Amino acid sequence: MRLQRQFNGQTITLDTRTPLGSGGEGRIYRVLEDPNLVAKIYHKPTDEDADKLTVMYNYPPATAMVSPGMTAIAWPIDLLHTTDHKRQILGYLMPRVSKATPIHIFYTPKSRRQQKPLFNYLYLHRTARNLVASFADLHSSGYVIGDVNESNILVSDTALVTLVDTDSFQVRDPDTGLIYRCPVGKAEFTPPELQGQAFRDLNRTPEQDRFGLAVLIFLLLMEGTHPFSGVYQGSGDPPAIESRVRAGHFVYGTRQVPYQPMPFAPPFQLLYPKLQQLFIQCFEAGFNNPQARPDAKTWLMVLKEAEANLITCSQQLEHRYGNHLNDCPWCDRTEKLGGRDPFPSRQAVTQQQHLQPLKRKRKRVLNNKPAPVQRPLFSPINRSSVPSPTAKKSLVLPQVPTLHLQNLFGSLFAGIVLGGLWGTSVLSAIIALIFAFVDGKQGIFGGLIVGAMWGSFLGVVISVYLPPPGGINRGIALILGGWSGIFIAAVIAGLIFGVMEQEPLIGKTLMWGAVMGMVWGAIWHLFKPPLSLPNIGRLWGRRGAFVGGVWGSYLGTLGGMGLGILAVGWQQFEAIQPNLNSTSSFSEITLRIIATTIVAAGVGTIGGTLAGGVFGMIGGAPSLPLSLHLSGRRGAFIGAIWGNFLGAISGAGLGVLGATTFANVLDTSSTTGTTSLLIGSIIVSAGIGSIWGMISGLIWGAFGKL
């Protein structure tokens, strides 16, 4: 079959002789020209399908490829239409997902033992984390999955997760507000409020996705046990799973329900305590209030903490369990299952011992009563055995960098280079602005105007010609382009006028900017925001002290800057009251504001860091406002907070170094004591560093450099 791509015009050939898959809506075919792509062709394509796919193409989620040949969300990358004059949309192209298996193979004990025997409990946690990250990405992009189920999720041997069947998602067109609904769903993953409803007539919400997400996490960490499955204690036939979900009968919760846990299910206490709380919150508090269900970001933080608290069994290295437990639960479970190890050792897998049938012991029968028939634990699954995974590493979204030696020096070098360029550029721009506003250099004003015009023009051009996934709003592009043009023009003008004036102070200023920028850039690249630190609610103890110090530094800097500006303004107001003609020049007021603001910011950031650390340790501190994708406004906010903290710490350190090593340069008077010089140097340097770090972190964070 020959079809044409909608957006790049390329003609491709599909191998229709051997479909890769088939379903109720269409079939999946290989693309002969590109083995990394596949095409889904609908049985009965409609105009609504074409419109929905166009919206999905124009507004994809932020998730990119997580590794070569592996994507987190198999999103449409182009539409396919016929090559005749009708140009009818028949389907779409998407990345081909290779070496991945449906998620139920991993959480079902029997199929995992047969196909993925070395996929241990740590990998199951990692799978849950990556699954949650994909949900969070979709929800933050305005999409709702709707049909959450185990068949649409593929997992690799290294716990990477891919969501497929994305064209069934609920899609909202941000330009028109039109919603393309998800018409299907599976009862086991459908929340109580939607049980028995006609999905085609409903607009889904992220809160309803959260129910299905919690069920999937429960299945992963509880050996394939559904949270609403149990032994019925009432009379009559046991209710179906959808009836149990509709009634809110969570078997492992705090409420009394007519069910007992399945006899061979793992104990609920096996889970990390905070995970237990989240499941109870989702299935009990969320029963009457869907908004109470934990969102993907909350799950991600707790899963990350739970994985970090896994320890290795001293008897069997493949057994991982939470450090809140006294004994290895998998050793106990192996004994309970008659010797069937849920996570067999590498030696047992190598010798194929994990596939051997269990040896049943003959029991002595008394009174000639027949021995009870032992039913199989799990229904047999006809799956072929494949080689087990051997890779230990897996990729997690988002990543927390590991400081190996090579990465350490690479980050350090990148931070020094980028920070030095940034510091020199900022100081050069400040020099140009001083020349323009204080000395009245008309040429600089002209250069700034030209830079604003060119920057605005280029910003609009970029927003017009880039496709919507990478582009931005034209109004925002106009403003950002204009300010970027002004900054670049100011940097160039500062360097040119510095050379023309041949003033040594300008050269020293640029050198100081480069040094300060290199120090701050190196620290910024080495110490990323603590993504694993935040928790649900408030933090106490050492963590509370640390986060409280970060918040205190930021708020203290803002407070100090505000009070400094108000102090100068009030002083100027008092000065003009007795004599209306007694006014200071603009340059004098500006310099006074800068000096006062720096000192006030230094005092505020030092006092705020100390006070925040103390109060955070005792009274608790709120977690940092982290997000899965730190860029734009969210990245700017956390960048300003984190950059301010790093800038204050590095600035105070430079102040100590300067006061102790270069005291004769900083102060030549004989009346100033060493202690006073040290305190003054620390305050001023911390003030400069905190303001510098806050502004720089805001800009770097906005561009995703966290």
Residues with Cβ within 8 Å of 620's Cβ and at least 6 positions away in sequence, in order, are 538, 539, 540, 544
| Distance of alpha carbon 644 from alpha carbon 523, whole angstroms | 12
| Distance of alpha carbon 77 from alpha carbon 54, whole angstroms | 10
Euclidean distance between the first and the last CA atom of the chain, given in angstroms as a whole number: 46
The one catalytic residue in 147, 167, 209, 341 is: 147
| Distance of alpha carbon 79 from alpha carbon 7, whole angstroms | 7
Catalytic: 147? yes
| Distance of alpha carbon 210 from alpha carbon 564, whole angstroms | 47
| Region of residue 317 (left: phi > 0; alpha: psi -120 to 50; beta: else) | alpha
Residues with Cβ within 8 Å of 332's Cβ and at least 6 positions away in sequence, in order, are none
Q: Is 449 helix (H, G, I), strand (E, B) or coil?
A: helix
Please name the amino acid found at residue 333: R
| Distance of alpha carbon 693 from alpha carbon 641, whole angstroms | 9
Q: Is 572 helix (H, G, I), strand (E, B) or coil?
A: helix
Measure Cα distances from 50 to 16, 24, 60, 324, 703 in Å: 21, 18, 15, 52, 33
CB-CB neighbours of 11 under 10 Å: 10
Secondary structure string (H, E, C) spanning 481-546: HHHHHHHHHHHHHHHHHHHHHCCHHHHHHHHHHHHHHHHHHHHHHHCCCCCCCCCCCEECHHHHHH
| Distance of alpha carbon 190 from alpha carbon 164, whole angstroms | 18
Host H or E run for residue 675: helix 674-702
Cβ atoms of residues 97 and 71 within 8 Å: yes
| Distance of alpha carbon 152 from alpha carbon 212, whole angstroms | 12
Among 696, 596, 597, 699, residue whose Cα is nearest residue 647: 696
Tokens of 565: 């500006």
Tokens of 126: 């990692």
| Distance of alpha carbon 191 from alpha carbon 97, whole angstroms | 29
Cβ atoms of residues 540 and 441 within 8 Å: no
Query: Could you give the count of Cα atoms lying within 13 Å of 255 in the half-sphere of its Cβ?
Result: 13
Tokens of 241: 């799973």
Is residue 540 packed enough to be buried (19+ CB in 10 Å), middle (13-18) or exposed (0-12)?
middle
Residues with Cβ within 8 Å of 410's Cβ and at least 6 positions away in sequence, in order, are none
Residue 158 CA from chain centroid, whole number: 19
Tokens of 293: 């269900």
| Distance of alpha carbon 490 from alpha carbon 507, whole angstroms | 16
| Distance of alpha carbon 469 from alpha carbon 466, whole angstroms | 8
- Evaluate the CA torsion angle 33, 35, 36, 39 in order and state its sign: positive
Residues with Cβ within 8 Å of 128's Cβ and at least 6 positions away in sequence, in order, are 216, 217, 220, 221, 299, 303
Question: Which residue numbers are catalytic?
Answer: 147
